Structure 1
Amino acid sequence: MGLGLYEHYPVFRSSIEQCDVFLFKELGCPWSVVEELERDADSSSNINLPLYSQPLCTDIQVALVDLLKSWDLAPASVIGHFSGEIAAAYSAGAITRDSAWRIAYQRGVVSENLVVASTAAPRTMMSVGLGEEDVAAYLEGTDVTVACV
């Protein structure tokens, strides 16, 4: 996840490495962004744990924004869903890079705590390739909530 960009684009690499330092020094993050990017996704990755996935996804998105900025590319508009809202806000200039990293890390901490606290009533999220009307029949009689259409 992002390793190819990290290996081939110095601006992307610099953003990731700065994030790694920020998370460690400012927030006491016990793991390394760089080390997680370099892990084998099939065996040793922690990407499925919210404590890691929330900040890692945002860190990569922020680094992508930084890379695009280095090429003088800027979005005309932005939109984000779930943690993508953090990078969208950074891309739009609504928050600083440090704020994006801080928000994503804290969101990961809170999400991880919610997962641990909710083992009696597990929760999850998924993406479905159906329209709202098509999926409605499948949701009848369930407590599933549609978050975004």
Structure 2
Amino acid sequence: MNTDDNPFRRVDWPGDQPQPSDDDDEHGMPLQPPRGPGLSADDLELLTLAARALGAVRVEVVEGENWVNLYFADQPPAFSWNPLLHGDDTFNLQVQLRMMIEVDTAWSYAWFNYRKQHTQESHVDQTPGDATKRAVTRAAAEIGRANLQQNA
């Protein structure tokens, strides 16, 4: 393995305090730009409402990332959470909120409220898996919205 082009430089630690890197600002924070555009306003609202359905007391948006961090009053935080992208987050959301899933050739459905209500997503312009993730997240958002209205 050749390390001649390694961009890392030697750092001297003359005392007990670390020295700021060339990549940091005057407060020691990284100067790197955000990685991407981040979440759209619609997706952020959807994720925030879905997180409320799980009992999250705070939703932290990470600039330039496509996920959020969730903080709860009575359980450890959930980092890098986005059930629109991550199937394990979708599955956990479905199980915790006791949803039923139905997928046919053209639509994905997420049933909630003891199978009395559902959301649906078309498979047009998205895979059945992505449509199912969105249907589950939208159903969770509906539960979160109902909880907010009930507590208002």
* TM-score tier after normalising by the smaller chain length: under 0.3
| Structure (1 or 2) with the greater strand fraction | 2
TM-score, normalising length: structure 2:
0.27
| Structure (1 or 2) with the greater helix fraction | 1
TM-score, normalising length: structure 1:
0.27
